[in-house]
Amino acid sequence: MIEQTYPGFDDFKSHFDLLLPAFRDRRYLKVDGKPIFGVYDPRDLPDTPEFVALWRRLAEDAGLPGVHFFGMSNTYDADVLAPFDMLMEFGPGDFINRARRDLGSVIRRRLRLRDFTATFARRLGPWFTRPLRFAYDEVVETLTKAVWRDARDVPCVTPNWDNTPRAGNRGAVFENCTPELFERHLRHAVDLVASQPAQRRIVFLKAWNEWAEGNYVEPDRESGHRYLDAIRNVIVG
- Express each pLDDT in 98-109 by its tens digit: 555 555 555 555
**What H or E segment, with its residue span, contains residue 86?**
strand 86-88
Predicted pLDDT of residue 122: 46
Query: Are 226 and 127 members of one domain?
Result: yes
Query: Are 184 and 143 members of one domain?
Result: yes
Task: Name the nearest CA neighbour of 185 among 211, 212, 220, 156.
Answer: 156
Half-sphere exposure in the Cβ direction for 66 (13 Å, CA): 9
Range of the domain at 57: 1-87
* Domain termination site, one of 87, 104, 134: 87
In sequence order, what are the beta bridge partners of 204?
A: 156
Instruction: Answer yes or no: is pLDDT of 154 > 60.
Output: yes
Query: Are 109 and 173 members of one domain?
Result: yes
Q: What is the residue-averaged pLDDT of the chain?
A: 86
Distances from the Cα of 84 to the Cα of 20, 38, 57, 68, 209, angstroms: 19, 9, 15, 8, 26
Task: Name the nearest CA neighbour of 236 among 186, 192, 197, 182.
Answer: 186
**DSSP string over 134-178:** EEHHHHHHHHHTPPPSSTTB--EE----B-HHHHGGG-EEEES--
Task: Name the nearest CA neighbour of 202 among 88, 40, 59.
Answer: 88
- Give the separation between CA 50 and CA 17, rounded to whole angstroms: 17
In sequence order, what are the beta bridge partners of 65?
A: none
Query: Are 58 and 2 members of one domain?
Result: yes
Predicted pLDDT of residue 45: 86
Query: Are 95 and 118 members of one domain?
Result: yes
3-state secondary structure of 201: coil
Instruction: Answer yes or no: is pLDDT of 38 > 50.
Output: yes
Q: pLDDT, tens digit, for every residue of 185-230?
A: 999 999 999 999 999 999 999 999 999 999 999 999 999 999 999 9
72-86, 105-119, 182-196 — most confident range: 182-196
- Give the separation between CA 82 and CA 141, rounded to whole angstroms: 29
Question: pTM of this prediction?
Answer: 0.83
* Domain termination site, one of 27, 52, 87: 87
- Give the separation between CA 197 and CA 15, rounded to whole angstroms: 30
Instruction: Answer yes or no: is pLDDT of 67 > 90.
Output: yes
Instruction: Answer yes or no: is pLDDT of 128 > 70.
Output: no
Query: Are 39 and 19 members of one domain?
Result: yes
Q: Is 186 exposed, middle or buried (0-12, 13-18, 19+ CB in 10 A)?
A: buried
- Give the separation between CA 18 and CA 24, rounded to whole angstroms: 12
Counted domains in the chain: 2
Instruction: Answer yes or no: is pLDDT of 97 > 80.
Output: no
* Domain termination site, one of 57, 87, 117: 87
Q: Report residue 76: phi and psi, to 5°.
A: -90, 115
Query: Are 162 and 79 members of one domain?
Result: no
Query: Are 16 and 107 members of one domain?
Result: no
Query: Are 215 and 108 members of one domain?
Result: yes
Question: Would you place residue 96 in the very low, low, confident or very high pLDDT band (cuts 50, 70, 90)?
Answer: low
Q: Which residues of 90-122 are buried (b: 16+ CB within 10 A; e: fewer)?
A: bbbebbeebeeeeeeeeeebeeebebebeeeee
Q: Is 136 exposed, middle or buried (0-12, 13-18, 19+ CB in 10 A)?
A: buried
